[in-house]
Amino acid sequence: MAGRSKSDKHLEVLQLLKQWSAQYNFSNDSYVSGLSEALENRTNLPFWSTMSATEFLPKAVVTPARSQLIYYLSLVRNLLIFAPVAITWAAIGQASQAFAVYTEQNPDGIANFLEFWQNGYGVLAKEWTLTRIATLDASILLFIIFIIIVTTTLSQGAIRHARELETVADDDRMRVAIAVDSYLFEKRSVTNLTLNQGLSRALQELRNTSGALNRTAKLVEKAEKGTPTSRKILAEIKKISNSRYEK
């Protein structure tokens, strides 16, 4: 398939810019939208050529997909840290109230508070006894430890993933910036800088052409040296004829 003509170069740059801005959600950026309009209408290109795309193109802020999950897990972990303390103090309050009722009902009882909290003696509900509360607190702490391990592992993976995404985003941005700057460079107004750069390119092309001509001339000269002249050919023919005549 034939490539686009040079006059359609702005459409290629425009398409590349639009694809990149849509991918990274920069379509509403002032520089991107203004440059897109200028490329589409081919207007004010000398003005836009004065602003380097490598500097003015916005940089993508990459957020890994796991970041939201890590945030919620961290929130649950932070809330659960205080749960064992709250449950323990609530249990102590329930046990204290029940112990007061027990001692009032059994003034001659010899049970101490910890023994009462452990057994309940029919006054304290089983869910508030010391064994149940200790088991519940231990379970919560183990779950917190599990969440810490999971969040730490996910965080390390998310950091590595974020670096990879940032590298890809920077490469995409640089690819678009180079394409834009390369196209707009030719649209710059004539200044000492652009004139010198243009002359430098022309001189370099002239040097390349001169070198190619010199190499071609040497090849032609070498070929001519290897080809016999008409005088040499006639001398050889005469020599052969004389040798036959002598025989």
User: Residues 217-240: pLDDT tens digits?
Assistant: 666 566 555 555 556 656 666 565
Predicted confidence at residue 9, as pLDDT, reads: 85
Predicted confidence at residue 84, as pLDDT, reads: 93
CA-closest candidate to residue 177, choices 24, 75, 69:
24
Give the model's confidence band at 201: pLDDT under 50 very low, under 70 low, under 90 confident, else very high: low
% pLDDT > 70, the chain: 72
Predicted confidence at residue 132, as pLDDT, reads: 94
**What are the backbone dihedrals phi and psi of residue 34, each rounded to the nearest 5 degrees, phi first?**
-65, -45
Predicted confidence at residue 150, as pLDDT, reads: 92
Domains of the chain, residue spans:
7-64+166-189, 67-161
Predicted confidence at residue 2, as pLDDT, reads: 45
Side-chain-side CA neighbours of residue 2 (13 Å): 4
CA-closest candidate to residue 175, choices 15, 8, 20, 10:
20
* Angstrom distance (rounded) from CA 50 to CA 189: 9
Angle between helices 130-185 and 67-81 (to 10 degrees): 150
Predicted confidence at residue 239, as pLDDT, reads: 62
Does position 122 have pLDDT exceeding 80, yes or no?
yes
**Higher-confidence residue: 94 or 1?**
94
Angstrom CA distances, 109 to 66, 101, 106, 121, stand at 59, 12, 5, 11
Predicted confidence at residue 5, as pLDDT, reads: 52
Predicted confidence at residue 178, as pLDDT, reads: 92
Give the model's confidence band at 160: pLDDT under 50 very low, under 70 low, under 90 confident, else very high: confident
CA-closest candidate to residue 184, choices 60, 58, 57:
57
Does position 13 have pLDDT exceeding 70, yes or no?
yes
Is-contact 30 168, C-beta < 8 A? no
The predicted model gives 144-153 an average pLDDT of 92
Return all residues near 164 (Cβ < 8 A) that are at least 6 apart.
Answer: none
Indicate the helix (H) or strand (E) that contains 179: helix 130-185
Task: State the chain's mean pLDDT as an integer.
Answer: 81
pLDDT in tens, 34-50: 999 999 898 888 889 88
Q: What is the dihedral of CA 23, 28, 32, 37, to 10 degrees?
A: 110
Is-contact 166 116, C-beta < 8 A? no
Does position 175 have pLDDT exceeding 90, yes or no?
yes
Predicted confidence at residue 200, as pLDDT, reads: 66
Predicted confidence at residue 233, as pLDDT, reads: 57
Which two structure tokens, joined as six digits, stand for 23? 């991918």
